[in-house]
């Protein structure tokens, strides 16, 4: 028979022990992250809910008009109005707060890591397997350490979303920095520019459109985690989808699902519009 021999590696047990050690030795760090993240996300949500509904819709129309077209801005405003008419206005604001928090943390961590990988081939070689694992690991697996470290709630959702959404911005930042014209870099070096000056004044501005593409991908992946994150107690539109599944409520499921689609369209078009604007500005400056 071709049965596999009775060999057990118990790799999962070692991972569990590592997680236990991290939870014990870094408990104060996780508490600090929890407090800061909760205050940040609550601040964003409170501000969004404080805004009058018409002011928020007007803002959406304006940014859609500026980065795409007047028709696109009006269409985005209609999308947001429809979400409010479904009775999901507060859930939408919570979802936006979760996604914004996850994206901001991803940028704070991802851009420096991408720059480091661009300048260090050794670090890039070490990081790539981890990034591959982060992108290919089933999303549900991230919920387990999220619950273990932060319990149920929005912070666990941000932690799980962060692991899933971080790789694109890291990879595209590295790609963008490496793709800067070498002749431009050599010219800057000939004028005595330091590495920091070249990074700040030449490489990052040149790489910004590609980095914005990474921001777009990170944002879309964070939004894709909304429903999955609801399984660890995250509120917002994902929670309504989960409720509709439990109740077999087709109406609520459709309204919450189409609301997520509307948000995805708005975020994708606006972020791509920002990248296009940056690209045009760079061509004009050249």
127-135: long-range contacts, CB 8 A cutoff, minimum separation 24: 127/170, 131/167, 131/170, 131/171, 134/163, 134/164, 134/166, 134/167, 135/164, 135/167
Instruction: Give dist(CA 118, CA 198) in Å, integer.
Output: 13
Q: Return the number of other C-beta atoms located less than 10 Å from residue 17's C-beta.
A: 10
The count of C-alpha atoms lying within 13 angstroms of the C-alpha of 156, restricted to the half-sphere facing its C-beta, is 23
Rounded to the nearest angstrom, the gap between the alpha carbon of residue 272 and the centroid of all alpha carbons in its chain is 15
Structure tokens at 75: 């269409």
Residues in CB range of 121: below 8 A, 6 or more apart: none
Looking at the domain that runs over 11-50+86-285, which CATH code has it been given?
1.10.3720.10
Asked whether the CA dihedral 192, 198, 201, 206 is positive or negative, the reply is: positive
Task: Provide the phi-psi class of 235: left if phi over 0, else alpha when psi is between -120 and 50, else beta.
Answer: beta
What string of pLDDT tens digits covers the 286 residues of the chain? 567 677 666 666 677 777 777 767 767 777 777 787 788 888 888 888 898 989 999 999 998 898 888 888 899 999 999 999 988 898 888 888 888 888 888 888 888 888 888 888 888 888 888 888 877 877 777 777 777 777 777 777 788 788 888 888 888 888 888 777 777 666 766 766 666 777 777 777 777 777 777 788 888 888 887 777 777 777 788 888 888 888 888 888 888 889 988 988 888 888 777 777 766 655 555 5
Look-up: residue for tokens 């992250």?
33
Instruction: Give dist(CA 216, CA 274) in Å, integer.
Output: 10
Q: Return the number of other C-beta atoms located less than 10 Å from residue 71's C-beta.
A: 10
């Amino acid at each position: 028979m071709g049965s596999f021999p009775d060999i057990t590696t118990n790799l999962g047990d070692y991972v569990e022990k590592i997680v236990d050690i991290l939870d014990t030795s870094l408990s104060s760090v996780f508490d600090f992250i929890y407090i800061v993240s909760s205050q940040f996300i609550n601040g964003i949500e409170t501000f969004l809910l404080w805004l009058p509904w018409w002011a928020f819709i007007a803002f959406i129309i304006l940014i859609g008009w500026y980065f795409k077209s007047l028709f696109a801005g009006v269409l985005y405003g209609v999308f947001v109005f429809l979400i409010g008419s479904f009775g999901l206005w507060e859930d939408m604001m919570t979802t936006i707060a979760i996604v914004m928090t996850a994206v901001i943390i991803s940028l704070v961590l991802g851009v420096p890591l991408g720059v480091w990988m661009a300048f260090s081939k050794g670090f890039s070689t070490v990081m790539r397997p981890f990034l591959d694992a982060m992108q290919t690991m089933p999303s549900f697996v991230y919920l387990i350490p999220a619950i273990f470290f932060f319990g149920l709630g929005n912070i666990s959702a941000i932690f799980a979303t962060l692991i899933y959404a971080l790789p694109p911005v890291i990879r595209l930042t590295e790609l963008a920095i490496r793709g800067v014209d070498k002749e431009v870099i050599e010219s800057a070096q000939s004028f005595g520019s330091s590495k920091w000056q070249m990074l700040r004044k030449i490489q990052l501005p040149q790489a910004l459109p590609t980095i914005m593409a990474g921001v777009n991908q990170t944002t879309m992946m964070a939004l894709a985690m909304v429903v999955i994150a609801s399984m660890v107690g995250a509120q917002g539109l994902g929670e309504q989808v989960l409720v509709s599944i439990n109740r077999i409520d087709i109406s609520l499921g459709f309204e919450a699902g189409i609301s997520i689609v509307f948000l995805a369209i708005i975020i994708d078009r606006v972020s791509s519009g920002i990248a296009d604007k940056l690209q045009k500005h760079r061509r004009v400056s050249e």
